[in-house]
Amino acid sequence: MLRLGFAIVLTTTMFGAPQPPDTGAVAGKVKLTQVKGTPLPSTAYQGRTVGDRQTSALPDLTSVVVYIKDAAFHGTLATKSAELKQQHETFVPHVLAVTRGTTVSFPNADPFFHNVFSLSSAAAFNLGRYPPGQSRPWTFAKPGVVKVYCQIHSHMSATILVFDHPYFTVPGADGTYQLAGVPPGDYTLVGWHERVGERTAPVKIERGRTATIDLSLPIEDSK
C-alpha cells in the first residue's frame, strides 16, 4: 500500500525580483519524490474508460494548492468564471482553486446524464441530473473546502478550494509556483493535498523581494 507523506524543505535566501513597490513574493518548486524504492505514479486520478474513449491522465501536481494561510485582504476580489467538466466519468480538473464569489460551471461532456452535488459546510447544493451537452453553474459565496460528487456515479469526486484572498496557486507542470503582490509581513505558507491536508511553513515577506520555499511531497512505502 502506498501512503502519501508531506515534507517541506525551506531555503531562506532572499533575492531581488520585480514587484509592486509595497509588496513582495514567495516562490519555489513543488517536488514529488519517492522513498524506499517505491516508484512515484505518474498519475493519481484516472477514471474508468467510457465507450471507446480513454481517460486523460492527470498529474498529481494538479492536485496540489499552495497558498498563504489566513491572509488579510482588503481589496476587491477578482472573480472569474471557472469550469469543472464531467468527462469520462471524472471531474476535470480534480482540484480547483477559486476566489470567493466565483461562479463555476459544470458542463456534462459525457454521452449520458450526470449530477453535481455537495454537502460541504462552505457550499451545500444539488444541481440535479442533466443530460449530455448541458452545463449548470454554482456561485461559491463562502471560503472553505468544498467536496463535489455525482449522485449517479459514486466513484466521481472533486475538491474546490474557495479563498477569501488572491494569494494561492496550483504549481505548473514543472512544479514551480509563485505568489506575488503579497503585503510585507510574517505569514504561514501552506502546501495542500487532499490526501494529507495542510502542511505549513513560516515565511517572511519583504518589500520588493522574493522568499524561496521549496515543497517536497514524498510517497512512502508503508510495508
Q: Give per-residue pLDDT as tens, 88-109.
A: 999 999 999 999 999 999 999 9
Residue 196 above 90 pLDDT? no
Q: Where do the CATH 2.60.40.420 domains begin and end in the chain?
A: 74-164
- For residue 158, what pLDDT band results from cuts at 50, 70 and 90? very high
Lowest mean pLDDT among 30-39, 95-104, 118-127: 30-39
Which of the pair, 59 or 215, is modelled with greater confidence? 215
When pLDDT is averaged across residues 106-122 and rounded to a whole number, the result is: 97
Residue 222 above 60 pLDDT? no
Closest CA to 179 of 87, 104, 76, 71: 71
Radius of gyration of the chain (CA): 19
Residue 204 above 70 pLDDT? yes
CATH of 1-45+58-64+169-223, one of 2.60.40.1120, 3.40.605.10, 1.10.150.130, 3.40.50.720: 2.60.40.1120
Is the separation of the CB atoms in 30 and 217 below 8 Å? yes
When pLDDT is averaged across residues 198-219 and rounded to a whole number, the result is: 86
**Which distant-in-sequence residues (6+ apart) come within 8 Å of 209 by Cβ?**
14, 15, 16, 17, 19, 24, 25
Mean pLDDT of the chain: 82
CATH of 74-164, one of 3.40.50.300, 1.10.1040.50, 3.40.190.10, 2.60.40.420: 2.60.40.420
Assigned C-alpha cell, 119: 454537502
Residue 30 above 70 pLDDT? yes
**Which distant-in-sequence residues (6+ apart) come within 8 Å of 74 by Cβ?**
none
- Predicted pLDDT at 46: 41
Strand-pair partners of 24: 182
Q: Distance from first CA to last CA of the chain, Å, rounded?
A: 7
Residue 57 above 60 pLDDT? no
- Predicted pLDDT at 84: 97
Closest CA to 15 of 220, 209, 176: 209
Amino acid found at 203: V
Q: Where do the CATH 2.60.40.1120 domains begin and end in the chain?
A: 1-45+58-64+169-223
Residue 13 above 90 pLDDT? no
Q: Give per-residue pLDDT as tens, 168-184.
A: 999 998 999 999 999 99
Residue 9 above 90 pLDDT? no
Strand-pair partners of 36: none
* Bridge pairing between strands 95-99 and 123-130: unpaired
Residue 2 above 60 pLDDT? no
Write the CA distances from 112 to 29, 53, 88, integer angstroms.
Answer: 40, 14, 10
Which of the pair, 45 or 60, is modelled with greater confidence? 60
